[in-house]
Chain A
Amino acid sequence: MTEYLLLRHRDIPAIDQLAVYRENGGFAAFEKALKQLQPGDVLTAVKASGLRGRGGAGFPTGTKWSFLPETIWPHYVVANADESEPGTFKDREILERNPFQFLEGLMLACFAVQARVGYVYLRGEFWPLTQKLNRCILELEQAGLLGDHVLGTDVSLRIYTHLGAGAYICGEETALLESIEGKLGQPRLRPPFPAVSGLFARPTVINNVETLTNVPLIIARGADWFRTLGTEDSPGVKIFSLSGCVNHPGNYELPFGTTFRTLIEQYGGGTPDGRAIKAIMPAGASSTILVADAQTLDTPMDYKSVAAIGGQLGSASVIVVDDSVNMADLVNQTVHFFKHESCGKCTPCREGTYWMAHITARLAGDQPDAQDAALLGSVARQMQNKCLCALGEFSTMAVVSALEKFPQDFGIS
């Protein structure tokens, strides 16, 4: 990689200072948009770039923005900084080290959908980052980039942070909106969708931090340039959070289409003691578990290719599992997470995660029992397609795939 695009602080360490960010082209895209472009131009450019949401679902960002009706006002933009998926730690680095590029992206999104207020919802554990972001926002107000008459125009724009307080579910976009509104973080029934009735029952765009951090580049350098990176299906670069059994865990900004093998061996330095890789979880704890055979390792990491081998790329949180790990124990840990984080609103998730946690605890013990394994599979399959939000579904992914691919670890001969 010749140049970092999202983790730009790795090239320019002081880029978290406004003056340094501006010296390196920062806010040129926002100023250009404000003074030379119409909101529709920004939307068209983002659509043409093929940018897809980096929070997990991979939904086309420009398309999402275009859903907001022009008949209901005001519009809101909400940045989702509730990064809580086990294995994911990319937004933390952006917010900590390159906050102004993220904020410029959020401001461009507000401009594109004509929102006058944007919120950043940060998980409560990001308390220190919130303090930092509040200082950045204050500096932007003092520089005339936020507030009334931004850069001398008629545009008024304000950004506020809202701190969560420890709930994985608030990463789910409708639960997040409930949480900003001062309610329990529990998902809403859809429809209506947030694009029509979101925050305070107004049309709302919700985008992940990494997604928004791409936007200034697209406006500054153009959609065609953006499409020269990555693959046709998944343009651009991606921050891959690499963790688990690797020598060098961390964030790696690479083009979409880089293989698992390159990420794990070349960048991650392989496994400790050179142990064999047993499995890969490409989308954090919510992943379908992939057997780490040659075919998987040589699969390009883009949405389409990972789906083609039966997985999901999700937020690209690659957890490496080596052959010292017992899969029943690993699944017990993922299920325990989901049991703890279930919001309790819908019965399949609330009850299902409770029972899966109990059964997997037994299976992770000394004498796993094939009857328990069958019962576990039955509970998981009964939950699928019945939960109110995606997070209930996520709790079953590792369970079902591990039972199928590693039966010996569950006492099934």
Chain B
Amino acid sequence: MNLLLQQSSAEVEQILVRYPAEHRRAAVMPLLFLAQRTTGRIDSQALADIAEITGLSTTDVASIMGFYTLFHAEEDGGGRFRIQVCTDMPCALRGARQFLAAFCEALGIQPGQTTPDGLITVEEVKCLAACDHAPFLQVQGDGELVDYPDQTVESALALVETLRQKPWARY
């Protein structure tokens, strides 16, 4: 039973039509995003489903998932929301490293760790192409990414509270 195809057949078709019929594997990345949309992670069932749709082996699909940093395997854990803070050099010149340290301290975790309620993981990431708005972060979760420019510790903590209030954040 191909759950992905069953649950999102129209979207799978919309993805496949973008690529030549003889190059179905080109759909693997959009399908991984689709599989990740609901829970924020990709499980072995989804890998097998994508393999079946694209004609790849499950191992090939898993290797694509592992190569790209925005895909998250089920076993990798992490919170429902990932707050990703850029600390690359241009952002660091504008205080991003101090921001990340203070933000994490206020949350009582280290970069890379998840809050005790299991909801939020704070990650230190590479350039997000917004060096003029440092400290800059993005939130990955709910199958989407949202940008938050010009952050302070206060604004980032307020964002955390907003995420915690989301109705689906509670299961």
Contacts and interface: CB of A to CB of B under 8 A. Distances in A.
A5 interface: no
A88 B26 contact: no
Contact of A182 (B29, B70, B88, B131): B29
Nearest to B84: A125
A262 to B, nearest CB: 18
B contacts with A: majority SS: mixed
Interface string B60-81: 0001100111110000000000
B144 A200 contact: no
Contact of B132 (A89, A179, A321): A89
Contact of B88 (A124, A127, A333): A333
Contacts of B41: none
A412 interface: no
B68 A333 contact: no
B127 to A, nearest CB: 4
Interface stretch (B17-25, B99-107, B112-120, B154-162): B17-25
Contacts of B129: 83-84, 88-89, 91-92, 123, 125-126
B96 to A, nearest CB: 10
B12 to A, nearest CB: 14
B93 A243 contact: yes
A183 interface: yes
Given A163-B30, A250-B132, A181 B23 contact: yes
Contacts, number: 133
B93 A319 contact: yes
A337 B88 contact: yes
Interface size class of B (residues with CB under 8 A): 35 or more
Contact of A128 (B93, B131, B145): B145
A399 interface: no
A8 interface: no
Contacts of B64: 182-184
A84 B127 contact: yes
Given A124-B70, A319-B90, A321-B93, A243 B30 contact: no
A198 interface: no
B54 interface: yes
B146 A160 contact: no
Contacts of A166: 68-71, 125
A315 B143 CA distance: 31
A341 B69 CA distance: 10
Contacts of B32: 165
Contacts of B146: 128
Contacts of A183: 25, 64
A185 interface: yes
A284 B138 CA distance: 21
A182 B27 contact: yes
A168 interface: yes
B29 A179 contact: yes
Contacts of A127: 144-145
Contacts of A185: 67-68
Given A128-B146, A182-B64, A241 B29 contact: no
A337 B127 contact: yes
B90 A244 contact: yes
A85 interface: yes
A319 B126 contact: no
A250 B149 CA distance: 13
B4 to A, nearest CB: 16
Nearest to A334: B89
B33 A337 contact: no
A184 B63 contact: yes
A369 to B, nearest CB: 23
A91 B71 CA distance: 24
A84 B69 CA distance: 14
Nearest to B27: A182
A165 B131 contact: no
Given A92-B129, A125-B128, A337-B88, A180 B70 contact: no
B28 interface: yes
Of B18, B67, B93, B147, the most chain A CB neighbours within 10 A belong to B93
10 contacts: A87-B89, A89-B131, A123-B129, A128-B144, A128-B145, A128-B147, A166-B70, A182-B64, A241-B131, A340-B126
Q: Please give me the 9 A-B residue pairs with the lowest Cβ-Cβ distance, nearest first.
A: A165-B68, A166-B69, A182-B25, A249-B132, A243-B131, A127-B145, A182-B28, A166-B70, A333-B89
Given A87-B131, A92-B129, A244-B90, 5 more contacts: A126-B129, A128-B147, A243-B90, A249-B132, A284-B90
